[in-house]
Amino acid sequence: MTTLFPGLDFGTTNSTLALAAPGAAPRLVPLEGAHLTIPSALFFSLEDGETYVGRAAVFEYRDGAEGRFMRALKSILGTSLMVETTPIGRRRMSFEELIGRFLKHLRERLEEAVVADPATAGAALDSIVLGRPVRFVDEDDAADRAAQGQLEAAARAQGFRHIEFQYEPVAAALHYERTVTSEQLALVVDIGGGTSDFSILRLSPNAAGATTSQVDRRSDILATTGVHVGGTDFDRLLNLAAVMPHFGLGSTTADGKRAMPVWYFNDMATWHRINTLYTAKNSRDIRGLEREAAEPDKLARYAHLLAH
Q: Per DSSP, what are the bridge partners of residue 71? A: 41
Largest distance between two CA atoms of the chain: 75
16-42 tens-digit pLDDT: 999 987 777 889 999 999 999 999 999
- What whole-number distance in Å separates Cα of residue 17 and Cα of residue 6? 7
From-to residues of CATH 3.30.420.40 in the chain? 7-167
> How confident is residue 206, by pLDDT bands cut at 50, 70 and 90?
confident
pTM for this one? 0.79
pLDDT value at residue 186: 93
89-105 tens-digit pLDDT: 888 999 999 999 999 99
To which CATH superfamily is domain 7-167 assigned?
ATPase, nucleotide binding domain (3.30.420.40)
pLDDT value at residue 213: 42
Q: Per DSSP, what are the bridge partners of residue 94? A: 85
- What whole-number distance in Å separates Cα of residue 137 and Cα of residue 120? 37
The alpha helices in the chain, defined as continuous H runs, are: 55-62, 95-116, 141-157, 168-177, 205-208, 231-238, 262-268, 280-292, 296-307
- Among residues 157, 147, 148, the alpha carbon closest in space to that of 106 is found at 157
Cβ atoms 41, 69 nearer than 8 A? yes
pLDDT value at residue 239: 97
pLDDT value at residue 99: 95
pLDDT value at residue 208: 63
Dihedral of alpha carbons 197, 160, 101, 274, sign? negative
